[in-house]
Structure 1
Amino acid sequence: MENNNPNSIIYNGVMLNAYPDSIGEKLSDTINMLKMPEFKDVFSLFYVLPTFFNSDLDRGFSIIDYNLNEDLVSKEDLKDLEQLNIQLKFDIVLNHLSVASPQFKDLLKRGNKSKYKDFFINWNAFWEGNGEMGTDGVIIPKEKFLNKLFMRKSGLPILKVLFPDGSDQPYWNTFYQQISYDKIKVSDLRRFKELNCWKAAFIFKNINKAVKGNTDFNKINLGDSKHLKSEVVQLINEKRSYLGQMDVNAKSELVWDFYEETFAKLKDYGCKILRLDAFAYLHKEVGQSNFFNKPGTWHYLERIKQIADKNNLMLLPEIHAEYGLNLHDEVAKEGYQIYDFFLPGLMIHTLEKGSNKALLTWTKEIISKGYKTVNMLGCHDGIPVLDLKGKEVNSVYNKGLLEDNEIEAIMNKIIERGGRVKNLYDPSGKKISYYQVNATFFSALGEDEQKLLLARAIQMFMPGTPQVWYLDIFAGKNNYDAADKGGSGGHKEINRTTLSINDVENGIKKDVVMNQLEIIRLRNTSKAFLGKIKINEALEDEIDITWALNEDYAQLKANLKTYQFTINYTQPGINKVLSY
């Protein structure tokens, strides 16, 4: 009987992960790399990050629209990938759109008359009756509600935007936001007929000084022209521009129409797997945390699944949460494939401690509960740390995969090796937890090639679909210059170095690259990985895992102290061995 449910499919091949311009300058350069003989049969899937679409910040995760970014991608690229028999995975950023999206631009232009007035979330309208108006015109939710909010940054999650009627309106903004002002020109002051050239020069200088210093425009020294204050502030606001990821209002049917249109468009691009970015923030309700609210998030997810099924798309919900919260288990029980965000930290712990205990505990859970996972070592984001922790749920503490002191040891080790840290905050701006540490996986392992090779081998023998960050293949090191140039939000750039075609050509001359490709190719092509996995008895400082299907098998035996390992396998019907 044919199975038409895309969410029941398990993709067993290996998935490449990169931006369209991670290799060279355009997606076509990555495709040319994949056409090289060294990359033959290495990958079956390609997760192309969302600069594939039109976006304006957060390296693609602030979507303007889901049309092809023609600076990086062409329709010919899609045809080439299809001919290479490489299936595609894309993102839909469910929670937010860019301020530069057509919908938000219409809201800024038309204000309350906009068709999209309710497409986004007016903070004051949302909290009306459940807080007090502050002096800045923003409602402060009651403390019992505010304390529950899950924050990604310090301060209230809002962006205040100027409406055509001159009012400042606060809109919900969980992630990034920025307001900028262009300096005024002398000619802008011509509207003030009463100003002579000396007064105009004085006001011109003070306005631009305030704009540059981002100071209170109501306190600009206007000399004896104080009566022009409101008109001057209006002039400055005309020069206002925004960057930001604006939360959409999933209670609006227009948002669901947009999802319908977008899913169909992604299907036309050849998408098979759709990553639901930031979906856990989508449902918002007074009195809940605005992170995976229940049952609202489940209702939204079911509706999204119905749209996906119509377009034959497999969904991959993206959730970063503590292991002890058991969200991974809840999502998996609903039949969804889940991200294995636990593996990166567990891998570092395993190799640093020379102990298989924590890793095998998680591996056995995947097997026993039948989780369908996508796993990784490095990725476009950081190395998740929060995910490994325990969590108190309904007054019962559920243990994490690691103890807090073990997690702290991982953090400290990676930071010693040059990693940068990302944190989470409470509404007052106080840090409540580490979130991620940003580093290349190679640098996180102390830039030890044998460790990286063993980490890759273990990943290839883990249950689930292995996802491989392009930079890890080439043993990429921390890029401190890129992180520093990126400013306060530049920590992620440490692991996003663009590789030239020359870098690729030099890379394939190195053992650490070619050995990884050899192991990945085995995982991508061996029928053994379509079969069953067995965790063999081994000492604590060893790993022994076998995959088998009929006569085909592959067995990894590794020493976690020396990092030496062998892979015994059949190809086809002939016993072979790889020793590293």
Structure 2
Amino acid sequence: MTTRGVSLLAYADRFGGGMTGLRDLLDGPLAEFAGVHILPFFVPFDGADAGFDPIDHATVDPRLGDWDDVRAIAARREVTADLIVNHVSASSGEFRDWLADGEASEHHGMFLTFDTVFPNGGTEREITAFYRPRPGLPFTSYQSPDGTRRLVWTTFMPSQVDLDVAHPAAHAYLRRVLAALADGGVTTVRLDAVGYAVKTPGSDSFMTEHTLGFVREITAMVREYGMRVLVEVHAHYTQQQAIAPLVDLVYDFALPPLLLHSLGTGTIDRLIRWLEIRPRNAVTVLDTHDGIGVIDAGPSGDRPGLLSTEEMAAIFDRAAAATDGHSSIASVIPAWAPMPHQINATFFSVLEADAGSYLLARAVQFFVPGEPQVYYVGLLAGLDDVELFRRTGQGRDVNRHVYTRDEIDAALAGEVPRALLDLVRLRSAHPAFEGAFSVRAVSATELELAWTAGEHHAVLHADLAARTHRIDATPIPRVE
């Protein structure tokens, strides 16, 4: 795993207007980025779940461009794309064909029904045990033309129908998508929502041993096409530790809440502990299109967390105060959960638009081992788009602003984005990041993150109480 290079996370439509505009940014002012994760650009990119409900997962939405445009982006940097393994749109050709033809459809068996999981019927206890990220139960009734009704699993939205990932018809579908991604120049596949993909009666069916078994299967399938595997799972930190050896990359979703805890309390003990035990093959993030994850650092059942429930609640409270209360309105509380999984707000807003605090957090992100990734709104130090949230009613839209090119150019001229791009250049070009990493607690509030490679070094000194930092580094060698 490389420790150098920073990637961008962006929607093509919201950051560039399409594939050509995104490529112009990456080949121009953002040329320092070594990779880009282009969020779902399939047909349609603007569905009910912002592209995570594909009708045609193997085709670039023509309003954004085509596969040649994706290949053009991939010609100069790594490209990550999503493989949505848990579901497809109820408007997909495969699902419509199955509803129309039933057992005669070539896609029969591709979709998960209530009877598939509970062939002998399910009890109230078994049904309510299932973990779901949204309120309510994960089923939707669909009717075929002959009047037959089927109760289909819809873990996320009624229009997102779940795949039976154990069935050959679903395997054939996933292979068709993987072939299209590989042919389009994609180098890394993010397994979206894989933690929900396997339903096992008698359990909560989230990240069980059966799920890990499926991760092994789908990882092997992806690697057959020459692509790396990145797994997206919001769960107890031990789940990341368990899944990290099975794949190429996992997300470090515990880092953002631990940094918010440290910045809010001035303490570093929880952060230091995590830096000692976290997986090294991690994509480090502060914010994503889904918001700022918090649950990943908290307790689960009888397993203690890196943070306590009270400390998690305090993070949400500070975020609400910083956003005049609207982060509490925008953040969804899942079924059977006492608090939201993530904060729906921009990271800059949660830190009250304080440049020093924000750049300190970014510096820590860039100095910990792994592959740093910067969300497009975070890159531009974006504030909450409250108007978009009010217009759509989708809480995550506060962190999904649609930028014009003029807005992008103006933002990139600002102090914070310019300083952040300096960090991108440092992490991308300094040879120390190819060497050995160490972490040291200097005091109860100060930590030191250091990289050393021969005569080269890069050291971050951060005081979480004072919210200040400095970087000491040897000069970056000039390339002749």
Verify same fold: TM over 0.5. yes
Work out whether 1:341 is the aligned partner of 2:247: no
Given that 1:51 and 1:59 are in contact with CA atoms closer than 8 Å, whether structure 2 keeps it comes out as: no
Q: Which residue of 2 aligns with 1:71?
A: 63
The structure-2 alpha-carbon separation of the partners of 1:108 and 1:446, relative to structure 1 and needing over 3 Å to count, comes to same
Please, which of 184, 187, 190 is the counterpart of residue 275 of structure 1?
190
Choose the corresponding residue for 1:317, options 207, 225, 231: 231
Residues 223 and 229 in structure 2, CA contact (< 8 A), matched pair in contact too: no
Residue among 321, 335, 338 paired with 1:416: 321
Q: Does structure 1 residue 425 correspond to structure 2 residue 326?
A: no
Alpha carbons 1:552, 1:573 under 8 Å: kept: no
**Letter aligned with residue 102 of structure 1:** G
Matched-pair contact (CA < 8 Å) for 2:461–2:471: yes
Measured in 1, the distance between the counterparts of 2:95 and 2:247 equals: 35
In the TM superposition, residue 99 of structure 1 has moved relative to its aligned partner by: 0.8
| Partner in structure 2 of residue 293 of structure 1 | 208
Which residue pairs with 1:91 in the alignment?
A: 82
**Amino acid in structure 1 at the alignment position of 2:142:** V
Q: Structure 1, residues 429-455: CA drift from partner, whole Å, max 9, x if none?
A: xx5442212000000111111111111
- Aligned-partner residue type, residue 69 of structure 1: D
Amino acid aligned to 1:120: F
Residue aligning to 1:352: 264
Distance apart, 1:422 and its partner CA: 1.5
CA distance in 1, matches of 2:67, 2:113: 38
Aligned pairs (5 A) from 1:67-146:
67-83=59-75, 85-130=76-121, 141-146=122-127
- Matched with 1:46 is 36
Q: Which amino acid aligns with 1:516?
A: L
- Aligned match of 2:299: 390
Equivalent residue of 1:502, what SS? helix
Match of 2:452 among 534, 548, 558: 548
Letter in 2 for 1:557: H
Offset of 1:516 from its aligned partner? 0.9
> How do residues 344-493 of structure 1 correspond to structure 2 at under 5 angstroms?
344-366=256-278, 371-392=280-301, 397-418=302-323, 419=327, 420-426=330-336, 431-487=337-393, 490-493=394-397
SS in 1 for 2:145: coil
Secondary structure of the 1:422 match is coil
- Cα gap change, 1:445 to 1:285, in 2 (>3 Å): same
Residue 177 of structure 2: aligned partner:
262
Report the Cα offset of residue 172 of structure 1. 0.9
Q: Select the residue among 434, 437, 452 that pairs with 1:533.
A: 437
1:548/1:73 Cα in 2 relative to 1: closer, same or farther (>3 Å)? farther
Alignment of 1:172 with 2:153, yes or no, is yes
Alignment partner of 1:515: what SS? helix
Deviation at 1:120, TM superposition (A): 0.5
Equivalent pair of 1:94/1:278 in contact (CA under 8 Å):
yes
Task: Give 2:317's aligned amino acid.
Answer: N
Q: TM-score, normalised by structure 2?
A: 0.93
Q: Which amino acid aligns with 1:564?
A: T
Contact 1:91 1:277 in 2 (8 A): yes
TM-score using structure 1 length: 0.78
Deviation at 1:125, TM superposition (A): 4.8
Change (3 A) 1:52 1:111: closer
Aligned-partner residue type, residue 313 of structure 1: M
1:62 CA displacement: 0.5
CA deviation after TM superposition for structure 1 residue 537, in Å: 4.2
Give the aligned CA root-mean-square deviation in angstroms. 1.9
In structure 2, how many angstroms separate the alpha carbons of the residues matched to 1:300 and 1:79? 29
Secondary structure, counterpart of 2:257 in structure 1: helix
The range that moved more, 50-59 or 458-467, is 50-59
Per the alignment, in what secondary structure is the counterpart of residue 16 of structure 2? coil
Indicate whether 1:20 and 2:12 are aligned: yes
C-alpha contact (below 8 Å) 1:89/1:274 kept by paired residues: yes
Fraction of identical pairs, as percent: 28
* Aligned: 1:149 with 2:64: no
Residue in structure 2 matched with residue 196 of structure 1 by the alignment? none
Query: Matches of residues 125-274 of structure 1 in structure 2 within 5 Å?
Result: 125-130=116-121, 141-177=122-158, 244-274=159-189
Q: Is the contact made by 2:266 and 2:465 (CA closer than 8 Å) also made in structure 1?
A: yes
Letter in 1 for 2:263: L
What amino acid is the match of 1:13? Answer: G
Cα deviation for residue 399 of structure 1 reads: 2.0
**1:12, distance to aligned residue in structure 2 (A):** 2.8
CA change 1:282–1:537 in 2 (3 A) is: closer
| Counterpart-to-counterpart distance in 1, 2:258 and 2:468 | 19
SS state at 2:457 partner: strand
* Runs of 5+ unmatched residues, structure 2: none
Evaluate the alpha carbon distance shift between residue 572 and residue 101 of structure 1 in structure 2; reply closer, same or farther with a 3 A threshold.
same
Distance 2:157 2:101 in 1: 23
Matches of 2:363 and 2:253, distance apart in 1: 18
The CA distance in 2 between the partners of 1:156 and 1:39, in whole Å, is 43
AA aligned opposite 1:550: G
